[in-house]
Amino acid sequence: MDLQGRPNDSGALIEAKQGVIVKANATSVSSGKYTTSYVSPFLLAIGASYDVVVDRALYLPATKSWTLVTRPLTTLSTVILLGGDATNDDIIDIGDATCIGGAYGNPPVGCGSGGSSDVNGDGTTSILDLVLFGGNYGASASPWTP
């Protein structure tokens, strides 16, 4: 798992779901790696399909269906979460531009529910945050390609 524009990929939430039921979850570490743990009383079954959802504040979520083929570990392809969602509403739009542009050159400000003008987490609102916003303008999900 990679957080676009950040050297530290920690803090992304990963869930393995069947329908709306979360069967396993994890949080990524700085390298972007994670190992899920089952959510009691559920166990993951070999041959069963799960929707794996990865999300982090200020980034767009990604979802992919996987069939569990082995235990204890199944390797998933790397996903890059797209940054620029400063308002944290799962769409990169004019609201994010307003948030980032209004704080440009200054310390981060809060925007929306849990949002921030400092998308890349470097402690300031800068051109790097605007680049993430601009490059992903109009997107509402991160693609998960093999």
Per-residue pLDDT, 44: 83
CA distance 119 to 1: 17
Per-residue pLDDT, 72: 67
Domain 2-81: CATH architecture, name and number where available: Sandwich (2.60)
Q: Which residues contact 58 (CB under 8 A, 6 or more apart)?
A: 83, 84, 85, 86, 88, 115, 116, 119, 121
Pairing relationship of beta strands 13-18 and 49-55 according to DSSP bridges: antiparallel
If we measure between CA atoms, which residue out of 26, 69, 21 comes closest to residue 45? 69
* DSSP percent split of the chain into helix, strand, coil, nearest 5: 10, 25, 60
Domain-by-domain residue ranges, the chain? Answer: 2-81
Per-residue pLDDT, 37: 79
Per-residue pLDDT, 39: 81
Per-residue pLDDT, 13: 95
Tokens standing for residue 36: 């899920």
pLDDT tens for the chain, 146 residues long, are: 999 999 999 999 999 999 999 999 999 999 988 888 778 777 888 889 999 999 999 999 999 998 888 776 777 888 999 999 999 999 999 999 999 999 999 999 999 889 999 999 999 999 999 999 999 999 999 999 86
